[in-house]
Amino acid sequence: MTRRNIIVFVFLLCVFAVSFLVLTFDVFGEQKPKEVLDISFVVRGKTSDSWASMRQGAEQAASEMNVNLSFITLTEENDAQEQVGLFDREVINGADAILVSAADSEAMIDPVKEAQREIPVICVESKVYDDSFTSYISADNYAMGRRLADELIEQGYVRKNIAVVTYENDCDNINRRKEGLMDTLSRTNNAVSFWTLKSDGTKGIRQLQELLNQEPVDTIVALDLSILELAAQMIDDNELETVLFGIGATGKVAYYVEQGVISATIVQNDFANGYLGVQSAVDAIMKKPVEKEIRVEYRLINKDNMYKIENQRLLFPFVR
C-alpha cells in the first residue's frame, strides 16, 4: 500500500469514527435521550375538571415528543404530605423528569432539591420557595390578583365587606394572587376578611356556609379554582345574593358565569402550562437551554365576554 493510500485510509477511518460519535452524542457532547422518555406530572389537586386543560396540554406535548406521561393527582386538595410522598415515589421509580404544581411551596423545597441533583424538575402553576428547580411555568399570579381587584373596583365594589377565601397550605401561586389583590384593594374602603378552608367537597361547602353565617359579607373572592366551584355551588343552591369573583375555569365555572352566579373569573392558559411543562422537561433532559421562568397568558372573563372567540379556548377546556 502506497503512502498516499495509507493517508487516505487513515482519513476515511477518522471520518467514520467521528460520524459514529456524532450519532451517539450531539454536537456539544451530550448523550442523546433514550427513545421513550418517562415524565411524571404531580399536581396539587384531586382528579377533577380542574386539571383537565392542563392535562390535555401535557398529553398533547407527550404524544408529539415520544414521552410516556404519568399524570398524578392527590386524594385531597392541596395535601402536601401526600404530594411529597408521590413525588419521591416517582423519583425512586426512575422518572427522567418531574413536573410538579406545589401544594405547599415550603414543604416541597427539600424533595425538589434532592431530585434536581439527578433529573430536571419543572414547576408548573405553583413553584417552591427556592431556585433549585429547572424552570417555572405559569401566568403572572400577582398580576392576576391585581386584575381581579381592578374588576371589583370597576364594578363598584369599593365600600363592601369582602371575604378572601383560600386553603390553609402555604401555596406560592395563591399567596402571590392574594398579594396582588390586596395591593389594589388596600386603596379602597372595603373591609376585607380572610377565610381559610380546611376541607373540600361537601365538607368545604358546609364550612364555607358556617363562615358566612358567622360573618356575613357582600362579596366572596376565591383565589383557588376548587374553592371558586364550592362557593358558586353554595350561592346557587341557597339562592344567596352574595357576589362572587375568582380565579380559574372549568365547565362548571363557565355555567355559573353564564348564570350570573360568578361575576368574573381570571383564567390562565392551562393548556399552555401543561404543554410547555412537558416541552421544557424534554429540552432539559436533552441538555438544551431552558428558560428559568416562562409566562403564559391570562384573561378576565365575565358574562358579557365569555363567548368571544379569544376567550372560549381558555374558559372551555376542550375548545381548541
Residue 84 belongs to domain with CATH number = 3.40.50.2300
Decide if 26 is inside a domain: no
pLDDT of res. 35: 78
CA–CA gap between residue 58 and residue 63 (Å, rounded): 9
- Amino acid 95: pLDDT: 97
Residue 27 lies in a domain: no
* Residue 218 covered by a domain: yes
Quick check: 47 pLDDT over 80? no
Q: Mean of the per-residue pLDDT values for the chain?
A: 89
Label residue 27 left, alpha or beta by phi (over 0 means left) and psi (-120 to 50 means alpha).
alpha
* Least confident piece of the model among 43-47, 106-110, 154-158: 43-47
In a domain, 77, yes or no: yes
Confidence of residue 318 (pLDDT cuts 50, 70, 90): low
Tell me how many domains the chain contains. 2
Together in a domain, 263 and 278: no
| 92: enclosing H helix or E strand | helix 80-92
**Same-domain status, 105 and 132:** yes
Arithmetic mean of pLDDT, 302-309: 92
Instruction: Report how far Cα 116 is from the mean position of its chain's Cα atoms.
Output: 19
Structural domain includes residue 74: yes
Same domain? For 206 and 259 the reply is: yes
Tell me if 320 is assigned to some domain.
no
Supply the pLDDT for residue 30.
47
Say if residue 291's pLDDT is above 60.
yes
The answer, yes or no, to whether residue 235 has pLDDT greater than 90, is yes
Task: Judge whether residue 258 has pLDDT over 70.
Answer: yes
pLDDT-wise least confident of 10-14, 65-69, 106-110, 167-171? 10-14
Average pLDDT over residues 219-247: 96
User: Is residue 5 predicted with pLDDT exceeding 70?
Assistant: no
For 291-299, what is the mean pLDDT? 97
289-318 average pLDDT score: 89
Task: Give residue-wise pLDDT tens across range 48-63.
Answer: 788 999 999 999 999 9
Same domain as 190, residue 81: no
What confidence score (pLDDT) does residue 15 get?
A: 43
Q: Do residues 57 and 198 share a domain?
A: no
The answer to whether residue 45 is domain-embedded is yes
Q: Among candidates 32, 12, 36, which has minimal Cα distance to 21?
A: 32
At 317, the pLDDT band (50, 70, 90 cuts) reads low
Residue 250 and residue 261 in one domain? yes
Residue 22 lies in a domain: no
Say yes or no: 134 and 274 in one domain: yes
Are 275 and 133 in a shared domain?
yes
**216 and 164 within one domain:** yes
Find the domain containing 63 and state its range. 37-138+270-289
Is the sign of the CA dihedral 201, 209, 259, 146 positive or negative?
A: negative
130 & 240 share domain: no
Residue scoring higher pLDDT (182 or 22) = 182
> What does the pLDDT read at residue 216?
94
User: C-alpha distances in angstroms, 156 versus 82, 153, 159, 189?
Assistant: 42, 5, 8, 11
Assess whether 242 and 226 both reside in one domain: yes
Same domain, residue pair 264 and 183: yes
Whether 1 has a pLDDT exceeding 90, the answer reads no
Q: Which residues contact 239 (CB under 8 A, 6 or more apart)?
A: none
